[in-house]
């Protein structure tokens, strides 16, 4: 995870992840610990975590997990919910052959409405994942206040 200055007042913690579908329980636990660590460090920052997490069992749109309560997918889902992270990807990001299209790629932020528009563009080369691009609000400027003459009667 990387921090960078945004507008001089805060920071943006950025994380990019690829989680192998055959990732071990130990690696999955370490990923969740990294999420907790980033969340602790983000007191005056925003968080943006994105990547291919390979959990087709998770449906953030309906807040469901099609796996047992002790599954890696359930642990992942519960951790992101416990951290109050917002997952913004709603359309399938992977389609291969006759397999059911699924959402494997996520964009997490720590505040609603930071992600504005997500574009689901065609895959690059022979990839079976769409390319995601989005707009993110990183700072809100204060409006210019023009000093008008005010009369005091």
Cα 101 to chain centroid, rounded: 20
Q: Are 97 and 141 in contact, with CB atoms under 8 Å apart?
A: no
* pLDDT tens column, 116-134: 899 999 989 888 899 999 9
SS3 content of the chain, % helix, strand, coil (to 5): 20, 30, 50
What pLDDT does 101 receive? 86
Least-confidence region, from 8-17, 102-111, 127-136:
8-17
What pLDDT score was predicted for residue 7? Answer: 44
In the chain, where the domains are located:
2-136
Domain 2-136 coded CATH 3.90.1150.10 = no
Q: Is 50 exceeded by the pLDDT of residue 5?
A: no
CA distance 21 to 12: 28
CA distance 43 to 54: 29
């Amino acid at each position: 995870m990387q921090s960078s200055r945004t507008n001089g007042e805060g920071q943006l913690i950025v994380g990019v992840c690829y989680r192998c579908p055959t990732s071990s329980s130990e690696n999955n636990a370490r990923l969740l610990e990294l999420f907790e660590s980033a969340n602790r460090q983000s007191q005056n920052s925003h968080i943006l975590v994105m990547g291919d997490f390979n959990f087709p069992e998770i449906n953030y749109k309906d807040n469901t997990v099609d796996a047992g309560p002790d599954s890696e997918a359930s642990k992942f889902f519960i951790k992101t919910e416990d951290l109050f992270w917002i997952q913004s990807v709603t359309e399938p990001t992977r389609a291969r052959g006759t397999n059911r299209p699924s959402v494997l790629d996520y964009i997490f932020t720590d505040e609603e409405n930071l992600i504005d528009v997500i574009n689901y563009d065609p895959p690059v080369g022979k990839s079976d994942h769409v390319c995601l691009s989005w707009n993110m609000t990183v700072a809100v400027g204060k409006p210019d206040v023009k000093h008008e003459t005010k009369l005091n009667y």
